[in-house]
Amino acid sequence: MTCTQCHREIDEHSNFCSYCGARLRPAFPHRRLMRSSTDVKIAGVCGGLAEYLNVDPTVVRLFWAILAVVPGGIVGGIVAYVAAWLIVPKAPLPVSAPIEAKPTPAG
């Protein structure tokens, strides 16, 4: 593996570069299932599941709707959604860049 800062060859399992001390990003970042705070229709369950699975949220919502319509699945679909709503934590709101104040003309 090559360090992204000093471009020297380092050990594959290192968390830090032994030459320059730069922190290395893990090959597989830890992902956590959370309700979406940006892609919300009811509670963000489908949006969060779509973000976790890296698929389009519409596909997840269609699958959930089909699950709820299938005979005997309506109770299971609704109960599963409510359970996920209660159990899965809500993702924090994304941090937006600060808005710069425009100078007002002197007059």
Highest averaged pLDDT of the listed ranges 22-36, 53-67, 75-89: 53-67
3 contacts 10 by C-beta, under 8 angstroms: yes
Q: What is the pLDDT of residues 30-71, one digit of tens each?
A: 677 787 777 777 888 888 888 888 888 888 888 888 877 776
- Residue spans of the domains in the chain: they are 1-29, 45-87
Give residue 75's pLDDT.
66
Read off the pTM: 0.53
Degrees (nearest 5) of the Cα angle 46, 77, 54?
25
